[in-house]
């Protein structure tokens, strides 16, 4: 087996440079690559284009890169409650491209499936369709219009999983496969961080979500804050 384990964030992020495009896993703050994001903050590179469903909050997740003005453009479906994001967007410092969530996930996935483009009905008849190629298909017995959307081919993808082995095989926990699995599949180079990095043979081959072939480097995260964005609970009985 090929050993993809790296021991430092520096080593993990080697080759990531200003002006590059990155796909970033996670949904809201759930399952985000906390350590690799901190690594990008410390590396002080800028002019990044980030493909990520969300943009973090002011002081966590991609919000940390926004604070340091390291992001030039965000490609997201929902940017949420982030005052610094809002300020930079309204002042024109930050370019924002909003695309439907399923289109975002599928454009990431498509790259990992070796397909340059997909057709989706999402956005037909809306401003999302402006300037895009439209084709009619009869599918599921219904004739409808579909938009041609291109696969994302980012320079790097950074993702987070629960467990991984040194061959790069990944296992997610709870709802954190979210954009991590599609992002992991699309990077020209994909870097994964995990809460628990184990030796080859310790993961059950039947239980692996992302095969290590998609992963180039894997690192054990130093610490995980795993912040909750919207704690919603029932009172104790």
Partner 1 sequence: MLDKNGIAKRIAKEVKDGYYVNLGIGIPTLVANYIPENVNVVLQSENGLLGMGPFPIDGEEDPDFINAGKQTITTLPGSVFFDSAMSFGMIRARKINLTILGAMEVSENGDIANWKIPGKMVKGMGGAMDLVASADNIIVAMQHVNKAGESKLLQNCSLPLTGIKCVKKVVTELAVLEILPEGGFKLLERAPGVSVEDIKNATEGKLIIEGEIPEMDI
- The binding site for partner 1 (CB under 8 A) comprises 27-31, 53, 76-80, 86, 89-90, 98, 100-103, 105-106, 108-109, 120-128, 140, 162, 172-182, 209, 226-237
Token pair for residue 30? 């759930």
Quote the CA–CA distance of 222 and 98 in Å, as a whole number: 33
Residue 74, helix vs strand vs coil:
strand
Instruction: Please report how close the Cβ of residue 10 comes to partner 1 at its closest, in angstroms.
Output: 27
Q: CB of 167: closest distance to partner 1 in angstroms?
A: 20
Q: How far is the CB of 227 from partner 1 (least distance, A)?
A: 7
Q: Which of 23, 35, 10 is nearest to 197 (CA)?
A: 35
Q: How far is the CB of 76 from partner 1 (least distance, A)?
A: 6
159 by Cβ neighbours in 10 Å (0-12 / 13-18 / 19+) ranks as: buried
Please say which residue, 42 or 81, places its beta carbon nearer to partner 1.
Answer: 81
**Comparison of 90 and 92: residue with beta carbon closer to partner 1:** 90
User: Shortest Cβ distance from residue 126 to partner 1 (Å)?
Assistant: 5
Instruction: Select 78 or 222, whichever has its Cβ closest to partner 1.
Output: 78
6/51 with CB nearer partner 1: 51
Rg (CA), the chain: 18
Q: Give me the least distance between CB of 3 and partner 1, in Å please.
A: 26
- Cα(112)–Cα(185) distance, integer angstroms: 4
User: Which residue, 116 or 237, has its beta carbon nearer to partner 1?
Assistant: 237
Q: Which is nearer to partner 1, 121 or 211 (CB)?
A: 121
> What strand order describes the sheet that includes 117-120?
117-120, 142-150, 134-139
CB of 34 to partner 1, least distance (A): 11
Give the long-range contacts of residues 103-107, CB within 8 A, separation 24 or more.
103/77, 103/128, 103/147, 103/149, 104/51, 104/53, 104/75, 104/76, 104/77, 104/179, 105/53, 105/179, 105/182, 106/149, 106/182, 107/149, 107/150, 107/151, 107/152
Nearer to partner 1, 19 or 102 (CB): 102
Using CA atoms, how far residue 168 sits from 131, 200, 217, in Å, is 39, 9, 7
């Amino acid at each position: 087996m090929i050993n993809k384990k790296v021991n430092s964030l520096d080593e993990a992020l080697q080759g990531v440079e200003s002006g590059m495009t990155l796909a970033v896993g996670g949904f809201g703050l759930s399952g985000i690559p906390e350590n690799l994001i901190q690594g990008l903050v410390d590396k002080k590179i800028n002019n990044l284009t980030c493909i990520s469903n969300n943009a973090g909050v002011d002081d966590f997740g991609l919000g940390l890169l926004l604070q340091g003005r390291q992001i030039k453009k965000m490609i997201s479906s929902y940017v949420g409650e982030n005052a610094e994001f809002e300020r930079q967007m309204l002042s024109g410092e930050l370019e924002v491209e909003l695309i439907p969530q399923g289109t975002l996930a599928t454009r990431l996935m498509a790259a990992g499936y070796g397909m340059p483009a997909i057709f989706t009905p999402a956005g037909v008849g809306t401003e999302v369709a402006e300037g895009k190629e439209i084709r009619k298909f009869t599918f599921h017995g219904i004739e409808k219009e579909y938009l041609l959307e291109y696969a994302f081919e980012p320079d790097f993808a950074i993702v987070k999983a629960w467990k991984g082995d040194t061959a790069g095989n990944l296992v997610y926990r709870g709802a954190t496969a979210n954009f991590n699995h599609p992002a992991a599949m699309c990077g020209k180079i994909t870097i994964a961080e995990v809460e628990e990095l184990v030796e080859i043979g310790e993961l059950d081959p039947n239980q692996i979500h992302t095969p290590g072939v998609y992963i180039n480097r894997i690192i054990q995260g130093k610490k995980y804050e795993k912040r909750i964005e919207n704690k919603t609970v029932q009172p104790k009985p």
